Amino acid sequence: MTTGMTGTTGATGKVPAPPGAPEHTSGRISPLRRTPLRLFLVCLVILVAAVPWRRGAFYTGGTDAVVVLKAALTLAAFGLVVMAPSRGVPWSRLRAGPVTWLVLYLGIATAGAFLADEALASLVLAARLTLLTATIVLLFRRYPSDLVLSALTGAMLALALVSGATGVGSLASEGRLYGGIPPTNANEIALLVSVPLLCLAWRTVQRMARAVETVAILPLVGVLWLTGTRTGLAAVALGLVLLVAMAPRIPVPVAVTGVLAVPVLLYLTFWTPLLSSYLTRGDSAGILTLNSRTVAWSAALDYPDTMVEWLLGHGLSVKVIPVSALYRNEQMLDSTWISALVQAGVLGSAVLALLVLTTLVRVLTVAQPLRPLLLATLVVLTVTSWLESGMFDTSVTFIAFLAFTMTAQETGHQTGPATAPETGPAIDAGRSA
C-alpha cells in the first residue's frame, strides 16, 4: 500500500524528503530559464558594476567617478535585494562559511595597506567587495539557489552577447573579440560565456536540456573561440571532461560527439595550422614563457621589503608593480594568487587557499545531479585564476565563485537526487546493479 505520508514510498517510487528539508530543484538551473525580473536585474547590475569600464586603468585612490558610479550601482542592487520578499533559505539554515574566510582576507589586506601607507584606496576597494558579498549572500536568503544561479548565468550570457556584439569590430583590428559596451577585454567575455556554457552542457549530459539549450552550446563555443583565450578554452575543456566523466549515464548523442571529436582534433592539430596558430597567436615562444606574465611574477616575489610586508602584503589597491623589462617599467599582476601574495601577503594567500580547498571538498558532498556542475564550474574558475587576476576582487570571477560556493554550502548536506526529466537513450557510465 502506498501513501503520501512522509517516510513512505509514493506512486512514483521516490521517498519524499523529511519535513523542513530543502526541495531538490537543481535540475531547473539554466541560463535560458525565466526568472523573476528583480532577481535578473540585480544579477545584471552587479555584473555591469564588476566588469572593467576602462581598459588598463585601476583605482589607486582619490575621487574616481567610475568607482563611485560602480559603488552606487552595487548599492542600488543591494537595495533591490533588501526589498525583495524572502523565498530562499531561512537565516537559521543559511550557510555563509566562505564569508568568514573573505572577511579574514580583507582584514589582513587592509592591515597591510595601513602599514604600507596605502590605506584609503584599499579601504574603498574592501568596502566595495564587502557590499558585493553582502548582496550575493542576501540573494540566497531572498531566492532559492536554483533561481539565483539561473538568473546569474542568464545575466552573464546577456552581458556577454551585448558587449561582444557592440565590439565585434575588434575582430578585424585586434584579432580577438573585445567588448564594445561595456569595453570588456576578451578574457572577460570568455568568462561571461564559459559559465553559461558549462551549465548548458551539464543539462545536456544529465539529459535535462531542452532542444534550444542543446543547440545554444555550439554558438557559445564559437564566441569562446573568437575571444582567443587560451587559458579559458583549456579550462572549459577540462570542465566539459569533468561533466561527462561524472555523469552516471552518458547520453548517446554526447558519446557519439565525443568519439567523432577525437579524429577532428587530431586533424586540426597535425594537418592544419588552425589550432597551433590559435594557441601561439603567432608567437610560439609565448607559450613557453607564459608571455610576459613571468616577468611580473618574478618581480612580485621580490616586491616585499620587510617580513611584515611578506606576511600582510600592501593592500588591495596594488594591481601593478615595477618590473625590469624591455619597453616597460611596470606591469599588471596577471594571476589571482600572485596578486594575493602582493596584496595580502603569505597569510592572506593561505586564507584564500584554504577557502578554495574547503569549497572543493564541500562540493564532493553535494548530491547528483548538481555535484558535476558545481565542481566543473569551480575547477574552471580556479584554473583560470592562476593566469588571470580577479577571483577575490570585485569581478565577474568573484561573483560566480561566491554564488556557486554558496550553492555548495546550501546543498552540501542533501543526500537525495534532484528530480529531472529523462529524455533519449543513454549509456550507463556507472556500476550495474
Q: What angle do CA 68, 69, 71 make, to 5 degrees?
A: 65
Do residues 141 and 91 make contact, with C-beta atoms less than 8 angstroms apart? yes
Report pTM.
0.86
pLDDT at 289: 47
What is the separation, in whole angstroms, between the first and last Cα of the chain? 25
pLDDT at 372: 96
For 242, the grid coordinates are: 569533468
**CA nearest to 338, candidates 376, 378, 295:** 295
Question: 321: which strand partners?
Answer: 331
Neighbours of 73 (CB within 10 A): 16
User: Whats the size of the chain, residue-wise?
Assistant: 433
Rounded CA gap, 384 and 229, in Å? 10
pLDDT at 12: 37
Instruction: Identify the DSSP state of 14.
Output: P
Neighbours of 232 (CB within 10 A): 24
pLDDT at 334: 83
For 68, the grid coordinates are: 563611485
Residues 6+ apart with CB under 8 A from 212: 32
**CA nearest to 5, candidates 22, 17, 415:** 17
pLDDT at 58: 75
Do residues 70 and 46 make contact, with C-beta atoms less than 8 angstroms apart? no
Question: Over its length of 433 residues, how does the chain's per-residue pLDDT go in tens digits?
Answer: 334 333 333 433 343 444 443 444 667 899 999 999 999 999 999 999 999 888 767 776 667 788 889 989 999 999 999 999 888 777 767 777 789 999 999 999 999 999 988 888 899 899 999 999 999 999 998 999 999 999 999 999 999 999 999 999 999 888 899 999 999 999 999 999 999 999 999 999 999 999 999 999 999 999 999 998 989 999 999 999 999 999 888 777 777 777 777 777 777 666 777 776 777 765 655 554 455 677 888 888 888 889 999 999 999 989 888 887 666 778 888 899 999 999 999 999 999 999 999 999 999 999 889 999 999 999 999 999 998 888 999 999 999 999 999 999 887 544 444 444 444 444 444 433 3
pLDDT at 9: 39
pLDDT at 415: 43
Rounded CA gap, 280 and 286, in Å? 7
pLDDT at 57: 73
What is the secondary structure of 48-71 as a DSSP string?
Answer: HHHS-SSTT----SS--HHHHHHH
Helices 119-142 and 396-411 pack at an angle, to 10 degrees, of 40
Do residues 75 and 127 make contact, with C-beta atoms less than 8 angstroms apart? no
What is the secondary structure of 137-177 as a DSSP string?
Answer: HHHHHHS-HHHHHHHHHHHHHHHHHHHHHHTTTHHHHTSS-
Rounded CA gap, 136 and 43, in Å? 9
> For residue 216, what is the enclosing H or E element?
none
Question: 322: which strand partners?
Answer: 330
Q: How far is CA 171 from CA 167, 369, 407, in A?
A: 8, 38, 37
> For residue 249, what is the enclosing H or E element?
strand 249-251
pLDDT at 379: 97
pLDDT at 420: 44
pLDDT at 169: 92
Rounded CA gap, 106 and 123, in Å? 9
